[in-house]
Chain A
Amino acid sequence: MLNCYLKGQQEHERPEFIPYAHLRIRTKQKVTVEVLDHLEHLALVDFRDSEGVERLQKAIQFADQLHEVNTDGVEPMDSVLEDRCLYLREDDVTEGNCTEELLKNAREKVEEYFVAPPGNIPLPKLEERETFLKGS
């Protein structure tokens, strides 16, 4: 949220995802409405308008360039830091007891409990939602 606000303040040139011309990128078919709807349910993200979907499409295209690298016989890597030592902590109590501070973040609280809605409120189905995806 903070990021969006700050970005809105300054006029940056929007980066564009341009694939390398000499590479023949194998790109999937246009991202379908079903996939977008599924993603909106899973991540509770709202693509908002066709420009949002376009950016997603271009980002996938950009990432597809990775397929051009020959990885035969190479162990997959999760992160460049994966050969670092995983630090092990001693089993001592060093934190906690800050109920008041934590509850300051809560919009609603009841006797030191956080208050949440009664259960997950699932995103309504595509047909029932106000989303531009319906038009696609």
Chain B
Amino acid sequence: LCLWGHPYLNSIFLLFFFFFSLTPWVPVVGLEIHAQISSNSKLFSGSQVQFAAPPNSLVSFFDASLPGTLPVLNRRCVEAAVMTGLALNCSINKKSLFDRKHYFYADLPAGYQITQQRVPIAVNGSLSYSLCIDNKMSQMVTKTVRIKQIQLEQDSGKSLHDDVRSQTLVDLNRAGVGLMEVVMEPDMCCGEEAAAAVRELQLILQTLGSSQAVMAEGQLRVDANVSVHHPGEPYGVRTEVKNINSIRFLAKAVDYEIERQIEELESGGTILNETRAFDSKLGCTVPMRDKEGKQDYRFMPEPNLPPLILYNARSLPANMNHQQVVNIDWIHERLPDLPSVKRAKLVEQYGILPEHSFTLLNEAGLTEFFEDVIKQTQMKPKKVIGWILNDLLSYLKQHSLTVKESPVSSFLLADLLNRLEKKEISSTAAKQVFAELWKGEGKTPLEIVKEKKLQLIQDQEDLERICQAVIDGQENEVIICQCRKDGVLALPHLLGRTRSSLPGSLV
């Protein structure tokens, strides 16, 4: 910041400086997502696909790139890519091509990756996702991101870096596993949007079964491309952020990178077109070493694979072997309900709010649990949902448990809710029973109610007698008794010492 001696010019200069830095920045975020295809064997060979197996035990001669081996395409992988393309509203290319992308790395034994650079299997789709405004979960807004393309490609092996002995250990079990690369257009503007889009894609992939999309096991990998610019000006230089291991870290990495770029530009610096890694411990992005200048991948057609031809009902030739045919229409007819459709159906069928159905689908197994309870109880779905989301889910979260691991089964919860519906217990008592059930000691709601004497007293005379005794015992206090329409007496202002002298039934 250069300051001239002249005071008048100084302040003008400072004004310009402040004005420039107050102009809004428009962040631009695009994502490249690699989803491991859920299949028994690899994309071009018959070795098994499995997480955490003994090193180099799931490797065929082709995966190890031994001379004389050839790629043979796995039909299941093609179907998975077509399913995903259809679910993301893409046009499926009836003819797609395979290419070689060349680069040297120890975990890429062939020296090239077979991918689909020129004509991928699916193009021009879209993904809709929901965001809550202000973290309140009460107002949800729907956004869309365009899908540029989906391509089939090979995964590389895994490198374990041993810095102590200055060497890398290579395990080729993952080399050759089928991947779907989903390329999103840069339609997003912040970490929250990126995270929500990836979460929705994850749910879609899991619903289709084309990928299990578990980020922790490397089945879903996300690289973010981030840049910033002023409105009306051309896009800024972008950086690529890698090494993002969870959806939470994705949001953090993107937001950090946006901030970093803004700070860099506002202090007069420039952004390098580079690859950066996200350091989850420090919560920041750092330049990646091993940068060898701009990569030239020397793409060439894969000479060992003719074009991949897909058919639909119209183009299907009459005498073809079924096993050799991938029929787009056949796959389309068998697509399961996507998450957005499931949510709409839940809202319509049970009268719950969109935010509720969003949470139901967001938690593995929660929708099934909810529907199981509904089947076994007379309580209205609109009331049941409160118990599922406020009570069950919060307990699960507190103890870091999944729905599958819940000590309270849908049967037990339904039983409890039935007793509440029949007014055998009050809602406060029901919460107590729920807390007891949570301990997982095998008691039924009825047993807990009897044990803790929580049953509501239905008899009017009994209640009046108890009330009178309380009033008699408290000369100076004012106790408010409220008679409910159905004759059950509630005493909202019972004092501590009174409460302890009465059975819990009045609480």
A residues at B contact (CB < 8 Å):
38, 41-42, 44, 78-79, 81-99, 102-103, 105, 110-120, 122
- Tell me which residues across on chain A come within 8 A of B66, comparing CB atoms: 105
In the complex, the answer to whether B57 meets A96 with C-beta atoms within 8 Å is: yes
Is B161 within 8 A of A118, CB to CB? yes
CB distance from B173 to the nearest CB of A (A): 9
Whether the Cβ atoms of B168 and A116 lie closer than 8 Å is yes
Q: Are A116 and B167 in contact, CB atoms less than 8 angstroms apart?
A: yes
Cα–Cα, bound, A93→B58 (Å): 10
When distances are taken between beta carbons in the complex, the residues of chain B under 8 Å from A91 are 39-41, 74-77
A-B contact pairs, 20 of them (CB 8 A): A79-B303, A79-B306, A82-B307, A86-B309, A91-B74, A91-B77, A93-B48, A94-B46, A95-B41, A95-B47, A96-B46, A96-B60, A99-B55, A105-B66, A110-B167, A112-B57, A113-B56, A117-B166, A117-B167, A118-B163
Q: Does B116 contact A (CB under 8 A)?
A: no
Q: Is the CB of B46 within 8 A of A95?
A: yes
Bound complex: CA A90 to CA B323 (Å): 8
* A117 CB, nearest partner CB in chain B, Å: 7
Which residue of A81, A82, A98, A114 contacts B170 across the interface (Cβ within 8 Å)?
A: A114
Q: Check: B437 CB closer than 8 A to any chain A CB.
A: no
Chain A contacts for B159, CB-based, 8 A: 116
As a 0/1 sequence over residues 45 to 81 of chain B, the CB contacts with chain A under 8 angstroms (1 = contact) are 1111000001111111110101000001111111000
Instruction: Among B54, B78, B296, B303, point to the contact of A99 (Cβ < 8 A).
Output: B54
For B324, the chain A residues whose CB sits under 8 A away are 85, 87-88
Given contacts A44-B104, A99-B56, A102-B56, contact A113 B307 (CB under 8 A): no
Q: A85 CA to B39 CA in the complex, in Å?
A: 23
* Contact residues of B: prevailing secondary structure: loop
Shortest Cβ distance from residue A109 to the other chain B in the assembled complex, whole angstroms: 9
Q: Number of B residues whose C-beta is below 8 Å from A?
A: 57
Number of cross-chain contacts by CB at 8 Å: 141
User: Dominant SS at the A interface?
Assistant: loop
- Contact in complex: B56, A114 (CB < 8 Å): yes
CB-CB < 8 A to B309: which residues of A? Answer: 85-86
A7 to B167, CA, bound (A): 36
For the complex, give the distance between the alpha carbons of A111 and B75 in Å: 34
Q: Tell me the smallest distance from the CB of B17 to a CB of chain A, in Å.
A: 40
A89 with B168, Cβ < 8 A, contacts A98-B59, A112-B54, A122-B292 known: no
Query: Do B102 and A42 have beta carbons less than 8 Å apart?
Result: yes
- Assembly CA distance A91 to B72 (angstroms): 11
Residue from B47, B61, B172 within 8 A of A93 (CB atoms):
B47
Of chain B, the residue at the smallest CB distance from A42 is B296
Distance between A116 CB and nearest chain B CB, rounded to angstroms: 4
Query: Which residues of the other chain, A, contact B290 by a CB distance below 8 angstroms?
Result: 119-120
B203 — which chain A residues lie within 8 A by C-beta?
none
Contact A89 B73 (CB under 8 A): yes
